[in-house]
Structure 1
């Protein structure tokens, strides 16, 4: 069945038609004006609400692609930094010969970043944490690079809503060990794709909080007027802030 819905897109800010399409992994409503997926619009809504002054902030986006969220952040943020895990290049080096909308990017391993401490107000990732071998190290690195009170906002497919998270692959002896049948998603800098390392469950917020010391909340957005309907519409928001003293 072909689903067509009229509504307003929160990213391109136009009245539009949303159509249900099935990409490689899950169904999602696509905006016919800007081609954004439902998860893109949910993430944009979360950024707009949690960090309304994002244009003036120091923003790091990990693994940006060609979608309108990455395009708008790169074009409108006054202090925007993009990073990609680009094998074969030196960590911390800057790549300028790219067709990505970000224009240039810093080569980074999310688990051991070369950025200084407390340099970003906001760190954004789209569908990245299901591809990281050591998410505890990655989120601790994000916390390290965030300024006090800073935010990280991420889309992550939570596909095990009624079961705990499970690992699909790990590094053993310097090599990838596949625990489950390999699954790959698209990669903006590699035609080989990105290996899915973890199938996340609802425990993801607790996992990220425990590893980083940040507050994490998981939000599920559903709004048909805004074309936000997806099988995996979860957005995680983490804030680098100490617990209040209530003694």
Structure 2
């Protein structure tokens, strides 16, 4: 297996990705990243940079950060970064082993506390994903985004399926064969609770008022190869009169100013924006007509010159 040349979106430099096995999801490393990085971390970093290039100035909550790659970069470069882990039996909101203790299903953060929420392979380990998405929606500011990765089963259409059920006596009834993943906060690992499927975007949007996008990759340049490369982006829809926490970078400065201005009615902003575009289209059409007339005149002059040249030669 050969190594790959590319550009890492985490360390933002040209690199040679190191292949350490056929399971690229966990074995395609960037040796230049802080403690290395793997494909799903680079995929999330790529989308983070695209959707919010000024993320360093934002308030970010990361659940269950890993000690490498984009997690380390956010800790180092974002002053508003908060990392949390979940420790059962410990007071919520308290600090334990250097981490704030938070249950994603019942967070202690106030409403609108963050502009961005991030999690890498966490959502397949929560028992009530509907509660988690609603809590993340609550803690995001208007227009804020939640970026997450988790395995999406190719053979599954339904948005989500349980792998086991918790019984009233506290025991577990397995519906599928138990599967354990690594856990940065526990040597015992974390059991997989949920299988996610193709319709996950519709499921999430039904749980909370998010606009949901799913990104999939086969991207050798950025080292995003192998299985389960999806990044799910959930944007909290702004309400009328809100100033979005995140402005999509594809918008021009004028567009952003229109959206961010202190308007008492979001419809007023949209109508003004549409009116501005309509006037610009009319101006472009006028310029196009003038250009066509100039071209027609040039053609006539050229034809006259050719006629004169023909007569001169005769």
TM, length-normalised to structure 1: 0.89
- Answering whether residue 167 of structure 2 is matched by residue 168 of structure 1, we say no
- 2:198 corresponds in structure 1 to 202
Answer whether contact 1:28 1:229 (CA < 8 A) is retained.
Answer: no
- Answering whether residue 108 of structure 2 is matched by residue 114 of structure 1, we say yes
* Inter-CA distance 26–84: structure 2 relative to 1 (3 Å threshold): same
Structure 2 regions of 5+ residues with no counterpart?
Answer: 240-265, 271-314
Question: In 1, distance between residues paired with 2:122 and 2:215?
Answer: 17
- Answering whether residue 174 of structure 2 is matched by residue 178 of structure 1, we say yes
Shift of 1:228: 1.6
Shift of 1:196: 0.4
- Answering whether residue 67 of structure 2 is matched by residue 73 of structure 1, we say no
Task: Return the structure number with greater strand share.
Answer: 1
* Inter-CA distance 24–222: structure 2 relative to 1 (3 Å threshold): closer
Task: Return the structure number with greater helix share.
Answer: 2
Question: In 2, distance between residues paired with 1:15 and 1:49?
Answer: 18
Q: Deviations over 1:71-93 (max 9, x none)?
A: 01111111111111112311111
* Inter-CA distance 40–19: structure 2 relative to 1 (3 Å threshold): same
Shift of 1:6: 1.4
- Answering whether residue 23 of structure 2 is matched by residue 4 of structure 1, we say no
**How many residues are aligned here?**
238
Shift of 1:154: 0.7
Question: In 2, distance between residues paired with 1:14 and 1:86?
Answer: 36
Answer whether contact 2:211 2:234 (CA < 8 A) is retained.
Answer: yes
Question: In 1, distance between residues paired with 2:92 and 2:24?
Answer: 31
> Which structure is higher in RCO with an 8 Å CA cutoff and minimum separation 6?
1
Root mean square deviation of aligned Cα: 2.1
Answer whether contact 2:19 2:28 (CA < 8 A) is retained.
Answer: yes
Structure 1 regions of 5+ residues with no counterpart?
Answer: 98-103
Question: In 2, distance between residues paired with 1:120 and 1:196?
Answer: 27
- Answering whether residue 228 of structure 2 is matched by residue 232 of structure 1, we say yes
Flag the structure with larger Rg: 2
- 2:117 corresponds in structure 1 to 123
